[in-house]
Amino acid sequence: MKHSPNNPILLTSSLHVDEARKAIANLVSELLQESQAINDPTDIETVSLDQAINRILAEDLLSSIDVPAADNSAMDGYAFNGKCLATNTLDISLKIVGTALAGKPYEGKIADGECLKIMTGAVMPTDCDTVIPQEFTSSSNAETISFNSNQLKAGENRRLRGEDLQKGQAAITAGRLLRPSDLGLAASLGIATLKVRRKLKVAILSSGDELRSLGQALDAGSIYDSNRYSLTGLLNRLDLEIIDCGIVRDDPASLKQAFIDATSKADVLISSGGVSVGEADFTKQIMQELGDVGFWKIAMRPGRPMAFGILKPDLGNASARKTLFFGLPGNPVAVMVTFYQFVRSALLQLNGASQTEPPLMQALSETTIRKKPGRTEFQRAILGRNAEGRPTVRLTGSQGAGILRSMSEANCFVILGHDQGNIAAGDWVDIALFDGLL
């Protein structure tokens, strides 16, 4: 493997966030190029439109028709031949000879000095090339209209046949993470089914003797496992197939068997807990026995420790399944931050998506934010708007990696770059919205 996750200096120096993301993207690219990569994630299936939301389009969707199918009106108004606008007459009067409705074309002829009342989307008669919006006209009776010729030019307010899409043109390109508007576009072309990538199978597990399942009593020092529920929600946003492997105790045999079981049926395994410095050495040993896994310190907050690589228990079998592995921190907020920063993009890339990076925008910080250069920080925050209508952002309060409430109350991340220092009130900062991502 050219880009081994073990190449970074493990647990002795910190990787920049961008370096870690690049290493992950390189390894995923290698897997996609290998003929035996992760149980062939390029499998394609056909689904109905109502089942296609959040799936990855596998092939270009070609338009079977011109859109629009004929020249039509972009306005409610009156259609006429625009050559009359070239005269020196400022005020123009036209006789109304009929009406064209959407879906009911006018079949007659339109002569010079005449016009047709027309609704938005109605087919333009061949004799007409211009539409004057209804609100720009005046009328003293029901038979004629008048308007000022300076109000428009010949050809205005007409949508041409094939202006949006021509027959055979790609309406949506392969790799698209399908959104509601894409499904509407496909339906407008008369297309009832789409070819999409097979759903990735993603196994999740939590490790730790202190963890308890919901419904169990909490004894001294124990906590409820929240991470699997956060991860389930994150994965459901991407409409992936989830395999819940439950809680695994800090026991070498149990952990190894859990990893072997997960890799037998999953394309990706995401664990939380057990990757920090000083935690049980057998965790690192088992992961490396089962494949090629690197243990990283990443210059970020929260979410510094992370493991990443390939699990392949049957090392002697060249065609054996390879499972992409992410070992995330145990703190609840750190789990969600590292998923957002590293796992989400890798899953989309592995599933054939063409756009994998989350969108960013900027907002004005309402307060001072303390920040040390040398690490990337993901602060939980609430996006709002000031009196001038500009976007503003304020932190949710304490930003500890174990304070899950800071995520629940927030609607965005404030992302402070590796080299940034303190942020003053009124400074612009990068933010990433949660909706559609988390």
281-318 tens-digit pLDDT: 566 778 778 888 887 889 999 988 899 999 987 755 65
- Do 238 and 280 lie in one domain? The reply is yes
- Do 26 and 60 lie in one domain? The reply is no
- Position 355 scores a pLDDT of 86
- Do 109 and 205 lie in one domain? The reply is no
- Do 302 and 230 lie in one domain? The reply is yes
- Do 88 and 140 lie in one domain? The reply is yes
- Do 231 and 320 lie in one domain? The reply is yes
Q: Are 299 and 14 in contact (CB under 8 A)?
A: yes
- Do 184 and 57 lie in one domain? The reply is yes
- Do 254 and 282 lie in one domain? The reply is yes
Domain assignment present for 398 = yes
What are residue 177's phi and psi, to 5 degrees? -80, 110
- Do 367 and 308 lie in one domain? The reply is no
- Do 258 and 340 lie in one domain? The reply is yes
Domain assignment present for 106 = yes
Beta bridge partners of 91: 148
What's the per-residue H, E or C state across 203-271? EEEEECCCEECCCCCCCCCCEECCHHHHHHHHHHHCCCEEEEEEEECCCHHHHHHHHHHHHCCCCEEEE
Domain assignment present for 7 = no
Q: CA of 100: how far to CAs of 94, 106, 116, in Å? A: 16, 5, 7
Q: Are 74 and 218 in contact (CB under 8 A)?
A: no
Residue 16 burial by CB count (10 A; 0-12/13-18/19+): exposed, middle or buried? middle
Question: Where is the domain boundary, 320, 350, 380?
Answer: 350
CATH number at residue 282: 3.40.980.10
Domain assignment present for 126 = yes
92-134 tens-digit pLDDT: 999 999 999 999 999 999 999 999 999 999 999 999 999 999 9
- Do 338 and 260 lie in one domain? The reply is yes
- Position 104 scores a pLDDT of 93
Model pTM?
0.84
Domain assignment present for 157 = no
Domain count, the chain: 4
Domain assignment present for 355 = no
- Do 244 and 232 lie in one domain? The reply is yes
Which residue blocks in 311-371 are alpha helix, DSSP H?
332-338, 344-350
Residue spans of the chain under pLDDT 70: 1-13, 35-42, 88, 276-283, 315-320, 436-438
CATH number at residue 52: 3.90.105.10
Domain assignment present for 2 = no
Q: Quick one: which of 89, 81, 151, 160 has its CA closest to 113?
A: 81
- Position 415 scores a pLDDT of 96
Q: CA of 83: how far to CAs of 98, 152, 313, 368, in Å? A: 20, 12, 77, 63
- Position 319 scores a pLDDT of 60
Question: Where is the domain boundary, 350, 385, 415?
Answer: 350
- Position 183 scores a pLDDT of 96
Domain assignment present for 159 = no
CA dihedral in degrees (362, 368, 371, 373; nearest 10)?
Answer: 70
CA distance 434 to 438: 5
CA distance 417 to 429: 9
Amino acid in the structure at residue 285: Q
Question: Where is the domain boundary, 118, 152, 186?
Answer: 152
CATH number at residue 398: 2.40.340.10
User: Cα–Cα–Cα angle for 88, 91, 95, nearest 5°?
Assistant: 110
- Position 3 scores a pLDDT of 42
Range of 89's domain?
A: 72-152
* Sign of the alpha-carbon torsion through 364, 367, 371, 377: negative
